[in-house]
Chains A and B, each alone.
Chain A
Amino acid sequence: MLSPTFTFSPLAAAVLSPVTILVLCVVAGVGTILLLPGKRETSIRWIGGLVLLAALLIFIAIIVREGAAMRGEAVYFWLFSGIAVISAIRVISHAKPVYSALYFVLTVLAVAGLFVLLWTEFMAAALILIYAGAILVTYVFVIMLASQAHSGATGKATEGAEYDRVSREPTLAAAVGFTLMGVLLFVIFDKAEGMVPATPEKTPAQAISEGGGSVRALGAYLFNDQLLTLELAGVLLTVSMVGAVIIAKRYVDEGETETQPEVIVTPATPLDDNPHSIPVFGTRNPVAKAYPEN
């Protein structure tokens, strides 16, 4: 934790000026354009990744120099946030969806680490359980379901699909995204100086022990003050479960109706039909005949 004298100094105005943020965002944007999957060679994508990494490191270095303290919480903060941001970039830039999902697990774990640093252990555990445990397993299942047939059809499992290897409008998207990022960072670092905590500052341990433990206090808050919202959340989960079942079931019905009509190409009576033949019942093929006299 930083010293209180540091708190309300004109912190970012001198060091992290809008121009710095702008230049860093432009550099990071160019790196992202090069890194995103497209019809480029692998070496250019590597260069894009390095450019992006360099912009990130410069940003971190500026803030670390301003913050001056590099001990205890700060070390873990930079570790976790670095892992989170780098693996998030890999999520959107990796050409194979399975790897994107696995890098997303890494992002979730790093964000859970950030939550632990913020004294919310229950949220960290819930995040890992729900995201890395439940949601991501569903994603990986769907990726396997959806890509199995595709690789079998084209026979190019290693190459990946065309829509995975070529991204859509990377320049425009990077411009929009990094403009938004620049504006947000500018507001966060430059315009946030008037912000003061509403309550006088307590240590986290005090606030948690007042509520009788982190999880207990959160549960009391949820079931006392937010009861209606909690019930609504439960209803929402039930409705979505029913909806997912119906969505999955609807296809099965349509699939059966699609495969049912059987196209018969052969004429019902072949030209060289034997006049003594008898049609065989129990089969749909009209050519199947029995010849009792032969």
Chain B
Amino acid sequence: MTLFVLQRYLAVGAILFCIGLIGFMTRRNLIVLFLSTELMFQGIAVNFIAFGRFHMGAAFFHGQAFVVFLLVIAATEASLALGLVVLLFRRKNTLDADAWRDLKG
């Protein structure tokens, strides 16, 4: 894998990560907020796999193993976060993140 091909994949990963970041900062719906974090996870996964492929050899599997654990973290995060979202929705009957603005510290 040539260097230039690696850079393309890194660029895609960076673009996905930044789009997710913008979504996390702008959107007010709690569910879309967590979808944006999943987008950031996608960008990071592309980075890991591309670097593993770049270094081939043993690092090929290091990158994949890292993405396996990343999927585990994403699954835990999604289950806990969505449980909390449902809980919060039933408290105030809205998904607006600004409804919890009075939570300080």
Footprint of B on A, CB under 8 Å?
Answer: 1-2, 4, 6-8, 11-12, 32, 36, 63, 66-67, 73, 77, 81, 84-85, 88-89, 91-92, 97, 100-101, 104, 107-108, 111, 114-115, 118-120, 122-123, 126-127, 130-131, 134-135, 138-139, 142-143, 145-147, 149-150, 153, 161-164, 166-170, 172-174, 176-178, 180-181, 184-185, 188-189, 192-193, 195, 197-199, 201-202, 204, 207-208, 211, 217-218, 221-222, 226, 229, 233, 236-237, 240-241, 243-244, 247-248, 250-251, 255
Secondary structure class of chain A's binding surface, majority of residues: helix
- One digit per residue, 1 when the CB lies within 8 angstroms of any chain A CB and 0 when it does not, for chain B 34-55 equals 1110110010011001101111
Of the candidates A6, A7, A12, A199, the one whose C-beta lies within 8 Å of that of B55 is A199
Q: Using Cβ atoms and an 8 Å threshold, which residues of chain B touch A204?
A: 53, 56, 60
B20-A4 in contact (CB<8A): no
A92-B39 in contact (CB<8A): yes
Residue B105 lies at the interface, judged by CB distance under 8 Å to chain A: no
Least CB distance from B10 to A in Å reads 5
Least CB distance from A63 to B in Å reads 7
Given contacts A123-B67, A185-B14, A250-B87, contact A163 B35 (CB under 8 A): no
Q: Using Cβ atoms and an 8 Å threshold, which residues of chain A touch B79?
A: 138, 240-241, 244
Of the candidates B2, B42, B83, the one whose C-beta lies within 8 Å of that of A107 is B42
